[in-house]
């Protein structure tokens, strides 16, 4: 294969239209070749010259398609990815990877059998605030980390009629936002020893999870992950506490908001976060604090990494095995919430 790689995008809902399409187009080694959607007129108007396929099989039958990006509803990820791998296409799947660990493992086997790349879109590894946390921990400024709190909270009091808020496989906030927070925690700290989860449906009329509070237990460290649809504000995105200091950051990475405003990746302010975190420490019995600059985020690095993996043999930016580990914790979280108990986590995938 040679650059640019022809990409077929499966799904033109919120994720496909707002996030994947512009990021694919921003990668110099990828070309948005086909979009699988029932919204033919809208696709043609917004992407003139792009091929339109009425179903996934039609796109897979095209020998010019090199890479298939799956941005369809969660419960269809497995079938689309399985068909694409069977057609010897490279595959990117939006998070969550699948709706069960078993499905994730089957896709990994398929990718190995057909010797095709299988990557999962855990884009928040390239959030500005998360990259800043990574940088801060790498310097050792906070000492040994003892408590790590990561929140992804919203105020959406009205239940919407959409699959993400329906009682379907892969629906609910734990499958929507949980994978982001779990993947980030795994990147920083590896596999925990145990998980204890509280999942709930709190809004009037909610039929699936719209709240979660999860603790991951490590030998010394405790990681707390939370998400909600009924938080108006006031909670930090990250609060990281160590033996030598703390870091607290408010506000959410701006890249998704920029994409929603139709701002193109690569603009002069792309990935910049106007809110900086605070670094706190104690000295001579007094608290001190100073602003800690937030580095710029860049989701383009995911798709640049996918292209490099296919064309140059570089490392997969987010492998199926890494994403399967997230799915394992998603399932253990559900089991923990049902039992009301902490559950042990066996060594990593």
Q: What is the pLDDT of residues 302-314, one digit of tens each?
A: 999 999 999 999 9
Cβ contact 298:323 at 8 Å: no
How far, in Å, CA of 181 to CA of 174, rounded? Answer: 10
3-class state of residue 237 by DSSP: coil
Q: What is the pLDDT of residues 319-337, one digit of tens each?
A: 999 999 999 999 999 999 9
Neighbour tally for 309: CB within 10 Å: 17
Checking if the pLDDT of 211 tops 70, the result is yes
**The two three-digit tokens of residue 89, written as one number:** 């296409």
Q: What is the pLDDT of residues 107-133, one digit of tens each?
A: 999 999 999 999 999 999 999 999 999
Q: Nearest CA to 69 among 118, 12, 9, 4?
A: 9
Give residue 153's pLDDT band: very low, low, confident or very high (50, 70, 90).
Answer: very high
**The two three-digit tokens of residue 143, written as one number:** 């000492």
Taking the CA atoms of residue 200, residue 328, residue 186 and residue 322 in that order, the dihedral angle to the nearest 10 degrees is -140
Neighbour tally for 246: CB within 10 Å: 20
Strand partners, 147: 222, 241
Checking if the pLDDT of 193 tops 70, the result is yes
Cβ contact 21:42 at 8 Å: no
Percent of the chain with pLDDT over 70: 99
pLDDT mean across residues, the chain: 96
Checking if the pLDDT of 348 tops 80, the result is no
Domains in the chain: ranges and CATH: 5-123+301-316 (3.40.50.720), 124-298+329-344 (3.30.360.10)
Q: What is the full DSSP assignment across 17-86? A: IIIIHHHHHH-TTEEEEEEE-S-HHHHHHHSTT-EEESSHHHHHT-TT--EEEE-S-GGGHHHHHHHHHH
Q: What is the pLDDT of residues 251-293, one digit of tens each?
A: 999 999 999 999 999 888 999 999 999 999 999 999 999 999 9
């Amino acid at each position: 294969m040679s650059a640019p790689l022809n990409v077929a995008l499966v799904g033109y809902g919120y994720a496909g239209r707002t996030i994947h399409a512009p990021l694919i187009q921003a990668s110099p080694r990828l070309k948005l070749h086909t979009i699988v959607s029932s919204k033919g007129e809208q696709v043609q108007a917004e992407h003139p010259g792009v091929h339109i396929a009425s179903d996934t099989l039609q796109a897979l039958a095209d020998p010019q398609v090199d890479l298939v990006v799956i941005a369809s509803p969660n419960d269809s990820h497995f079938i689309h990815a399985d068909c694409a791998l069977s057609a010897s296409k490279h595959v990117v799947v939006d998070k969550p990877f699948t709706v069960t660990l078993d499905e994730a493992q089957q896709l990994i086997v398929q990718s190995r059998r057909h010797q095709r790349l299988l990557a999962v879109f855990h884009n928040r590894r390239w959030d500005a605030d998360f990259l800043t946390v990574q940088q801060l921990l790498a310097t050792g400024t906070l000492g040994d980390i003892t408590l790590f709190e990561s929140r992804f909270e919203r105020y959406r009091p009205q239940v919407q009629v959409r699959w993400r808020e329906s009682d379907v496989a892969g629906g609910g906030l734990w499958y929507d936002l949980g994978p982001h927070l779990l993947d980030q925690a795994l990147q920083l700290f590896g596999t925990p020893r145990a998980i204890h989860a509280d999942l709930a449906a709190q809004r009037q009329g909610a039929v699936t999870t719209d709240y979660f509070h999860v603790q991951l237990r490590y030998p010394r460290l405790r990681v707390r992950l939370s998400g909600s649809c009924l938080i108006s504000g006031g909670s930090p995105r990250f609060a990281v506490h160590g033996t030598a200091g703390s870091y607290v950051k408010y506000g959410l990475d701006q890249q998704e908001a920029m994409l929603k405003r139709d701002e193109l990746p690569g603009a002069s302010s792309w990935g910049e976060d106007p809110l900086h975190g605070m670094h706190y420490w104690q000295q001579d019995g007094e608290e001190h604090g100073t602003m800690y600059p937030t580095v710029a985020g860049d989701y383009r690095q995911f798709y640049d990494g996918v292209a490099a993996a296919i064309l140059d043999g570089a490392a997969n930016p987010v492998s199926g095995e890494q994403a399967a580990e997230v799915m394992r914790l998603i399932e253990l979280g559900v089991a923990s919430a049902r039992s009301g108990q902490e559950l042990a986590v066996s060594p990593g995938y």
